[in-house]
Chains A and B, each alone.
Chain A
Amino acid sequence: MSEEHAHPHIKDFDGHVDAVASDLEYFRRKRIESRVLYYLRRGIISWADLFRAHEAVGPAQPVSPQPDLELRVRALEDSLDALILAAAVAGTRLTNHTVAIDDTRRERGDYEPVFRLATRSYDGDLETRLGLLEDALAETAHLVAVLTRALVDRGEVTEGALDENRQRLSGLGYHNGARIVARAWVDPEFKRRLLETGREAVRELDIPPGRLGKLGVAENTEDTHNIVVCTLCSCYPHDLLGNPPWWYRTDEYKTRIVEDPRTTIRDMFGLEVDPGRKVVVHDSTSDVRWMVLPRRPEGTEGMTEEELAELVTAESLVGSAELATPSP
């Protein structure tokens, strides 16, 4: 279930489409439609605001045709990425209301399944699924555009604030984590500060430390392999490292990893943790957001900090993968 963007060709189309369907449903239900409902219920926007905004925005953008299947799947993944970014930008702080993440957690069903919005399925053969997902992505992107426009028209956000937030969010990603890890490998004093002070230490790398509570850093060692989960929603140091891999948000992972960590890591990620090492699962409950400090691969003694950062994967920061010695 690893990300395969680094590979030149897609081998498993169904796997990629499964990942898009899973993530679309997560973001649609938990970060987009539940937020629209929250704003409506609290009177932050009205239905009439949405109708007016819809007229101003115009209809949903049609999906542009692609010459082959691979490009079609890539385009689908790109539109999902664009949707996730647009949804995060739409969460720009409001002018007249203070909305914390906690306000929406109950309404989106994190604690009571009765509140959860129904999950849609996108079944059929590959061609059918692609068509259904393209339409659903376009419609959901349209909803985000309408919501954003309604918030601007209501004076709850400004275009300037949206641009600023878009720029900040675009700079987030696991590459920040890779730089933190590489520095920790080459500088023991930095590693000590990182483990002790978390966010404060990353300022040394000119990485914006973010403000989502405390950063916990779990160091992999000879006798411990760490892995991170958020069983209640999908807490992660988003504000520092961007989004974790898609499976992090799936119910399957959240349920299984705390029941039997070692077997789950083997079955879902193909990683055999040595029987002599213990597996430690960190279940984040939002105030401390955890990342894993993976072990430095052997045979990398001569590498520079920049080269080392290139070795670090998004998976290793969550703990679903270890890092291999680079091939010469």
Chain B
Amino acid sequence: MSERFTAGDRVRVLATVDGGNPRTPHYLRGRVGVISELHGVIVNPLDHHLPYPPLYSVTFRVEDLAGPPGPDLVIADLHDEWLEPAS
């Protein structure tokens, strides 16, 4: 499970992923953000049994999420299978 993205890449969050980690917030689905940090594959057996694909911090502008204009940001931690390249 290697990382498809690197810091600075623009990515779109998919609407649905069969068998994907359900921990992808609904308000981010379909939205475009920028990869800001790579966390790799995190082994976290207290939380879940199998490691999920690599995890990234993805930065979204609040104004791109239908929020008010301004400099504010939302950073969410999302798994590889939920992301596709965005132009």
Contacts and interface: CB of A to CB of B under 8 A. Distances in A.
B73 A285 contact: no
Contact of A278 (B57, B65, B73): B73
Interface in B18-50: 21-25, 27, 39, 42, 44-49
Interface residues of A, number: 34
Contacts of A98: 49
A287 B42 contact: yes
A284 interface: yes
Contacts of A258: 25, 27, 62, 65, 67, 74
B49 A261 contact: no
A140 interface: no
B23 A282 contact: no
Contacts, number: 104
A287 B74 contact: no
B44 A286 contact: yes
B14 interface: no
Interface in A20-34: none
B55 A288 contact: yes
A248 B45 CA distance: 24
A280 B61 CA distance: 9
> Chain A at the B interface: mostly helix, strand, loop or mixed?
mixed
A260 B77 contact: no
Contacts of B47: 100-102, 212-213, 286-287
Contact of B72 (A103, A278, A287): A278
B72 A261 contact: yes
Contact of A211 (B23, B25, B46, B76): B46
Contacts of A111: 22
B42 A260 contact: no
A281 interface: yes
B52 to A, nearest CB: 7
B78 interface: yes
A316 B72 CA distance: 19
Contacts of A284: 77
Interface string A205-237: 000000111101000000000000001100000
Nearest to B41: A287
A283 B24 contact: no
A263 B55 CA distance: 30
Contact of B68 (A101, A239, A263): A263
Nearest to A258: B74
Nearest to A210: B46
A287 B57 CA distance: 11
B42 A282 contact: no
| Chain A to chain B: the 8 pairs with minimum beta-carbon distance, closest first | A102-B48, A278-B71, A213-B44, A283-B76, A287-B42, A285-B23, A279-B72, A281-B74
12 contacts: A105-B23, A213-B44, A213-B47, A239-B46, A260-B67, A278-B73, A281-B72, A282-B75, A283-B77, A288-B39, A288-B55, A288-B57
Given A281-B72, A286-B47, 19 more contacts: A100-B47, A100-B49, A101-B47, A102-B49, A105-B23, A211-B45, A213-B42, A213-B44, A216-B57, A260-B62, A261-B62, A262-B68, A262-B72, A284-B77, A285-B24, A285-B76, A286-B23, A287-B39, A287-B52
Interface of A: 98, 100-103, 105-106, 110-111, 211-214, 216, 231-232, 239, 258-263, 278-288
